[in-house]
Every structure is written in C-alpha cells, then in structure tokens.
Amino acid sequence: MIKKLLSFVKQPKKGKELLTELDIARVVEVENDAAETHVDEATNDALSDVEEWKQNDLDLLQTTWQTCCAEPLNESAVSAFRQALHNLHGASGAYGGGALTRLSGSLHLLVSDLEEFHDDAALINLHVQACRATSVTNESGAEDVADAVCDALEQQVNARILALTA
C-alpha cells in the first residue's frame, strides 16, 4: 500500500510554492505528547527528558520545513531546515534509532546535494511527516509498518538520486 502511495509522487511544476501534495498525516494520527511508560521515577524522568528533546527536534524539523514551503527562495530557511535535519539524524540513535534513524538518514541523503527543494517537495514532505509519525506510541505491528514506510521511501530516494546523476 505504501509503495502504491509513493508511486503517485509527481514532479511539481516550477512556481512560487513548493507542492507537498502527498500527506500521511491523515492516515497516521500524530500526537505531540510523549507516551507514558511504567518504569521507576528516575528512569521516567530520564525518558521524559529524551522524549522532550526528540519532540523538540521533530517540531524544529517540521517548522523549518514549513518555512521552506512558504519561502522556497529563502536561503536561511533552507539552511535552518538542513541544520534541523542534521541535528535530528545525529540524535536519532539516542531517541531509539530504528525508523527515525532510517527516515532522517534517507531524507538527509535526498537533500544533501539539492540546491532547491522544488522538484522533490512531495517526497521531502512525506519524510518529514514520517519522522513525526515515529513518535506515535508503538502498537502491535507498528514496527512492520515503519519498516515498510522506510523501505518505500528509501527506494524513492535512491531512484531520485540515480535520476539526478544520470
């Protein structure tokens, strides 16, 4: 299903705004609140701090991406997005790794050599939303879904990079 969804990624035409037509937010309900865990108080405090840092990094990634969409020619907005992504990817191991590390790594690979995001805005947007979705409480089968999303997005990024280098 995810692969079918990603097959609809269309290259937007040049214009003033970045087109981010694909949206998984309506499929995956994303909450900003940290999931509660049943552990001792000291561990809970440490987990709360890490979860708060993760949420802050995810918020910054999303906010800087929204600024890029609103002002696609603003170089400082693009730089802030790249920095937020770099920081999130660097800290993703401390946040539990897994899907967040794969998604932020795939997004980092995609945007690292792009001068402008216009042609890849929908794919970038999916990555940003998928990163946010990793903060949703894990339920049975959630890791399988996360792996499928990661696989599909990584394949899209690799295909896009091959197209750019050909």
* Residue 108: per-residue pLDDT: 96
Question: For residue 83, how far is the Cα from the chain centroid?
Answer: 13
pLDDT above 80 (res 101): yes
CA distance linking residue 119 with residue 43, whole number of Å: 44
To 5 degrees, how large is the angle CA 117–CA 57–CA 55? 125
Whole-angstrom distance, CA of residue 149 vs CA of residue 129: 11
pLDDT at 114: 87
- 70: pLDDT strictly greater than 60: yes
Considering only CA atoms, which of 63, 62, 64, 37 is closest in space to residue 49? 37
Mean pLDDT of 111-125: 90
Element (H, E) at 90: helix 75-91
pTM beyond cutoff 0.75 = no
pLDDT exceeds cutoff 60 at 56: yes
Q: For 89-113, what is the mean pLDDT?
A: 92
Q: What is the pLDDT of residue 38?
A: 47
Cβ atoms of residues 39 and 145 within 8 Å = no
The per-residue b/e assignment along 25-60, b for 16 or more CB within 10 angstroms, e otherwise, is: eeeeebeeebeeeeeeeeeeeeeeeebeebbebbeb
Determine the pLDDT at residue 150.
Answer: 84
- Please compute the mean of the pLDDT values over residues 109-133 and round it to a whole number: 90
Sequence length of the chain is 166
CATH class, range 2-9+39-165: mainly alpha
pLDDT at 9: 42
pLDDT over 70 percentage in the chain: 68
Residues 141-157: tens digit of each pLDDT: 667 777 778 888 888 88
Cα 92 from Cα 98, distance rounded (Å): 8
Most trustworthy range by pLDDT among 29-33, 37-41, 71-75 = 71-75
Structural domain spans, the chain:
2-9+39-165
136: left (phi over 0), alpha (psi -120 to 50) or beta: beta
